[in-house]
A and B are shown apart, each in its own frame.
Chain A
Protein backbone atom coordinates (compact mmCIF):
# COMPACT_ATOMS: atom_id res chain seq x y z
CA UNK A 1 0.00 0.00 0.00
CA UNK A 2 2.02 2.95 -1.31
CA UNK A 3 -0.61 5.66 -0.54
CA UNK A 4 -0.10 8.67 -2.82
CA UNK A 5 2.88 8.65 -5.18
CA UNK A 6 4.21 11.51 -7.30
CA UNK A 7 6.77 11.71 -10.08
CA UNK A 8 9.20 13.30 -10.55
CA UNK A 9 10.61 14.40 -7.17
CA UNK A 10 12.65 17.22 -8.70
CA UNK A 11 12.51 19.03 -12.03
CA UNK A 12 14.24 22.01 -13.60
CA UNK A 13 12.63 23.65 -16.63
CA UNK A 14 13.45 26.57 -18.84
CA UNK A 15 10.84 29.26 -19.38
CA UNK A 16 8.38 28.14 -22.05
CA UNK A 17 8.98 24.41 -21.67
CA UNK A 18 6.12 22.08 -20.84
CA UNK A 19 5.88 19.16 -18.47
CA UNK A 20 3.41 16.88 -16.74
CA UNK A 21 3.46 15.96 -13.07
CA UNK A 22 2.07 12.52 -12.39
CA UNK A 23 0.12 11.42 -9.33
CA UNK A 24 -1.42 8.09 -8.37
CA UNK A 25 -3.22 6.76 -5.29
CA UNK A 26 -4.03 3.21 -4.32
CA UNK A 27 -6.58 3.92 -1.58
CA UNK A 28 -9.64 3.85 -3.88
CA UNK A 29 -10.43 7.49 -3.07
CA UNK A 30 -12.82 9.43 -5.28
CA UNK A 31 -11.43 12.93 -4.77
CA UNK A 32 -7.93 14.07 -5.70
CA UNK A 33 -6.19 17.44 -5.47
CA UNK A 34 -3.20 19.41 -6.70
CA UNK A 35 -1.61 22.10 -4.51
CA UNK A 36 1.35 24.37 -4.74
CA UNK A 37 3.38 25.45 -1.71
CA UNK A 38 5.31 28.71 -1.73
CA UNK A 39 7.35 30.10 1.17
CA UNK A 40 5.17 31.77 3.79
CA UNK A 41 1.90 30.96 2.03
CA UNK A 42 0.97 27.45 3.06
CA UNK A 43 -0.64 25.24 0.43
CA UNK A 44 -2.90 26.68 -2.24
CA UNK A 45 -5.31 24.60 -4.29
CA UNK A 46 -4.69 24.56 -8.05
CA UNK A 47 -7.27 22.05 -9.28
CA UNK A 48 -9.25 19.21 -7.86
CA UNK A 49 -11.26 16.25 -9.09
CA UNK A 50 -14.26 15.16 -7.06
CA UNK A 51 -14.63 11.95 -9.04
CA UNK A 52 -13.37 10.20 -12.14
CA UNK A 53 -14.23 12.30 -15.18
CA UNK A 54 -14.68 15.62 -13.36
CA UNK A 55 -12.26 18.45 -12.62
CA UNK A 56 -12.69 21.90 -11.08
CA UNK A 57 -10.56 24.99 -10.58
CA UNK A 58 -9.16 25.91 -7.20
CA UNK A 59 -7.64 29.16 -5.96
CA UNK A 60 -4.74 29.42 -8.42
CA UNK A 61 -5.55 27.54 -11.68
CA UNK A 62 -4.00 29.93 -14.20
CA UNK A 63 -1.20 28.36 -16.24
CA UNK A 64 -2.16 24.78 -15.38
CA UNK A 65 -4.30 22.00 -16.80
CA UNK A 66 -5.27 18.69 -15.26
CA UNK A 67 -6.45 15.28 -16.37
CA UNK A 68 -8.21 12.67 -14.26
CA UNK A 69 -7.09 9.68 -16.26
CA UNK A 70 -8.93 7.14 -14.14
CA UNK A 71 -9.83 6.72 -10.48
CA UNK A 72 -6.19 6.20 -9.49
CA UNK A 73 -4.39 8.87 -11.52
CA UNK A 74 -4.58 12.67 -11.62
CA UNK A 75 -1.98 14.58 -13.63
CA UNK A 76 -1.02 18.26 -13.67
CA UNK A 77 0.34 19.86 -16.82
CA UNK A 78 2.26 23.09 -17.30
CA UNK A 79 1.94 24.00 -20.97
CA UNK A 80 4.40 26.90 -20.98
CA UNK A 81 6.33 27.14 -17.73
CA UNK A 82 7.04 30.53 -16.18
CA UNK A 83 9.41 31.48 -13.32
CA UNK A 84 6.32 32.29 -11.19
CA UNK A 85 5.50 28.58 -11.28
CA UNK A 86 8.65 27.72 -9.34
CA UNK A 87 7.23 25.98 -6.30
CA UNK A 88 6.73 22.68 -4.52
CA UNK A 89 3.74 20.75 -5.86
CA UNK A 90 1.71 18.31 -3.82
CA UNK A 91 -0.91 15.82 -4.90
CA UNK A 92 -3.45 14.54 -2.38
CA UNK A 93 -6.47 12.29 -2.16
CA UNK A 94 -9.37 12.56 0.26
CA UNK A 95 -10.38 9.93 2.75
CA UNK A 96 -13.68 9.14 4.43
CA UNK A 97 -13.51 11.95 7.03
CA UNK A 98 -12.36 14.69 4.66
CA UNK A 99 -8.76 14.14 5.70
CA UNK A 100 -6.28 14.40 2.86
CA UNK A 101 -3.37 12.09 2.24
CA UNK A 102 -0.44 13.72 0.53
CA UNK A 103 2.26 12.59 -1.84
CA UNK A 104 5.92 13.42 -1.15
CA UNK A 105 5.89 16.53 -3.35
CA UNK A 106 7.70 17.69 -6.47
CA UNK A 107 10.18 20.56 -6.30
CA UNK A 108 9.96 22.45 -9.59
CA UNK A 109 12.34 25.21 -10.62
CA UNK A 110 11.67 27.29 -13.74
CA UNK A 111 14.64 29.27 -14.98
Chain B
Protein backbone atom coordinates (compact mmCIF):
# COMPACT_ATOMS: atom_id res chain seq x y z
CA UNK B 1 0.00 0.00 0.00
CA UNK B 2 1.15 3.48 -0.73
CA UNK B 3 2.13 5.53 2.30
CA UNK B 4 2.96 9.20 2.66
CA UNK B 5 5.15 10.48 5.47
CA UNK B 6 5.52 14.05 6.66
CA UNK B 7 8.22 14.02 9.30
CA UNK B 8 7.71 17.60 10.53
CA UNK B 9 4.55 17.95 12.63
CA UNK B 10 5.22 21.68 13.06
CA UNK B 11 7.35 24.29 11.33
CA UNK B 12 7.85 27.98 11.90
CA UNK B 13 9.11 30.72 9.57
CA UNK B 14 9.67 34.44 9.79
CA UNK B 15 7.60 36.59 7.49
CA UNK B 16 9.40 37.17 4.14
CA UNK B 17 11.74 34.21 4.75
CA UNK B 18 11.81 30.84 2.98
CA UNK B 19 10.68 27.52 4.46
CA UNK B 20 10.79 23.96 3.15
CA UNK B 21 8.31 21.27 4.14
CA UNK B 22 9.36 17.65 3.72
CA UNK B 23 7.44 14.67 2.35
CA UNK B 24 8.42 11.13 1.45
CA UNK B 25 6.26 8.42 -0.02
CA UNK B 26 6.39 4.76 -0.79
CA UNK B 27 5.15 3.23 -4.03
CA UNK B 28 6.07 0.60 -6.59
CA UNK B 29 4.35 2.53 -9.37
CA UNK B 30 6.22 4.57 -11.97
CA UNK B 31 3.39 6.83 -13.08
CA UNK B 32 1.51 8.81 -10.45
CA UNK B 33 0.76 12.32 -9.21
CA UNK B 34 1.90 14.19 -6.13
CA UNK B 35 0.21 17.18 -4.52
CA UNK B 36 0.50 19.70 -1.75
CA UNK B 37 -2.73 20.93 -0.18
CA UNK B 38 -3.16 23.80 2.25
CA UNK B 39 -5.79 23.73 4.99
CA UNK B 40 -6.30 27.07 6.80
CA UNK B 41 -8.41 27.32 9.98
CA UNK B 42 -11.51 27.56 7.78
CA UNK B 43 -10.96 23.83 7.14
CA UNK B 44 -11.20 24.21 3.37
CA UNK B 45 -8.71 22.04 1.45
CA UNK B 46 -6.91 24.19 -1.13
CA UNK B 47 -4.69 22.77 -3.87
CA UNK B 48 -1.28 24.45 -3.76
CA UNK B 49 0.75 22.61 -6.38
CA UNK B 50 0.76 19.42 -8.48
CA UNK B 51 3.60 17.28 -9.87
CA UNK B 52 3.29 14.52 -12.45
CA UNK B 53 5.82 11.76 -11.78
CA UNK B 54 6.76 11.40 -15.44
CA UNK B 55 7.90 15.04 -15.57
CA UNK B 56 11.47 15.67 -14.46
CA UNK B 57 10.97 19.41 -14.20
CA UNK B 58 9.93 20.61 -10.76
CA UNK B 59 6.55 22.34 -10.60
CA UNK B 60 6.28 25.98 -9.55
CA UNK B 61 3.30 28.18 -8.73
CA UNK B 62 4.28 31.75 -7.90
CA UNK B 63 5.99 31.61 -4.46
CA UNK B 64 5.52 27.84 -4.17
CA UNK B 65 7.88 25.31 -5.71
CA UNK B 66 8.68 21.65 -5.21
CA UNK B 67 11.83 19.55 -5.17
CA UNK B 68 10.79 16.23 -6.65
CA UNK B 69 13.33 13.43 -6.29
CA UNK B 70 11.71 10.39 -7.88
CA UNK B 71 14.43 7.87 -7.08
CA UNK B 72 14.51 8.96 -3.45
CA UNK B 73 10.68 9.16 -3.36
CA UNK B 74 10.90 12.63 -1.91
CA UNK B 75 8.62 15.60 -2.62
CA UNK B 76 9.35 18.75 -0.62
CA UNK B 77 7.52 22.09 -0.80
CA UNK B 78 9.41 25.38 -0.71
CA UNK B 79 7.54 28.55 0.19
CA UNK B 80 9.44 31.72 -0.67
CA UNK B 81 8.78 35.20 0.74
CA UNK B 82 6.45 33.73 3.38
CA UNK B 83 3.33 35.70 4.17
CA UNK B 84 1.04 35.69 7.20
CA UNK B 85 -1.67 34.15 5.04
CA UNK B 86 0.53 31.10 4.44
CA UNK B 87 -0.05 29.95 8.02
CA UNK B 88 -1.99 26.69 7.78
CA UNK B 89 -1.77 22.91 7.84
CA UNK B 90 -0.03 21.56 4.76
CA UNK B 91 -0.73 18.06 3.49
CA UNK B 92 1.36 16.09 1.03
CA UNK B 93 -0.66 13.63 -1.07
CA UNK B 94 0.06 10.78 -3.47
CA UNK B 95 -2.41 9.77 -6.16
CA UNK B 96 -2.60 6.87 -8.55
CA UNK B 97 -6.20 5.64 -8.54
CA UNK B 98 -7.21 7.17 -5.23
CA UNK B 99 -5.40 9.67 -3.02
CA UNK B 100 -3.35 9.05 0.13
CA UNK B 101 -2.40 11.85 2.49
CA UNK B 102 0.37 12.46 4.97
CA UNK B 103 -0.44 13.47 8.54
CA UNK B 104 0.29 17.12 7.83
CA UNK B 105 2.69 19.88 8.88
CA UNK B 106 1.41 22.89 10.80
CA UNK B 107 3.15 26.03 9.51
CA UNK B 108 3.32 29.13 11.69
CA UNK B 109 4.39 32.45 10.16
CA UNK B 110 5.88 34.98 12.59
CA UNK B 111 5.52 38.70 11.82
Contacts and interface: CB of A to CB of B under 8 A. Distances in A.
B43 A58 contact: no
A48 B43 contact: no
B103 A42 contact: yes
Interface in B80-110: 91, 95, 97-104
B62 interface: no
B101 to A, nearest CB: 4
A43 B95 contact: no
Nearest to B33: A98
Interface residues of B, number: 21
A104 B44 contact: yes
B98 A42 contact: no
Contacts of A45: 98-100
B52 A97 contact: yes
B102 A33 contact: no
Nearest to B42: A104
Top 5 closest pairs, chain A to chain B, by CB = A102-B45, A42-B101, A98-B33, A98-B95, A43-B101
